[in-house]
Amino acid sequence: MTDGWVILLMLLAVPGVCVLVYAVIVCWPQRIPKDQSVSGIRQRIEEEDVDG
């Protein structure tokens, strides 16, 4: 390959990798902390009702 093709390939590959990394970061599922799940919130509300 000539130098021109290598430069063209790099100009296409670098933004492609950046877009891929960004998509993985945005789409990766996040774990919900235990106390912020539906069951955790429900348990806190029930405990507050019993206390108050």
Segment 1-52, tens digit of pLDDT: 688 999 999 999 999 999 999 999 999 888 777 678 888 888 888 888 877 5
Domain with 33, as residue range(s), is: 3-51
Number of domains in the chain: 1
d(CA 32, CA 11): 38
**How many residues does this entry show for the chain?**
52
pTM of the model: 0.51
Q: Say if residues 16 and 8 touch (Cβ distance below 8 Å).
A: no
- Location of structure tokens 């789409």: 27
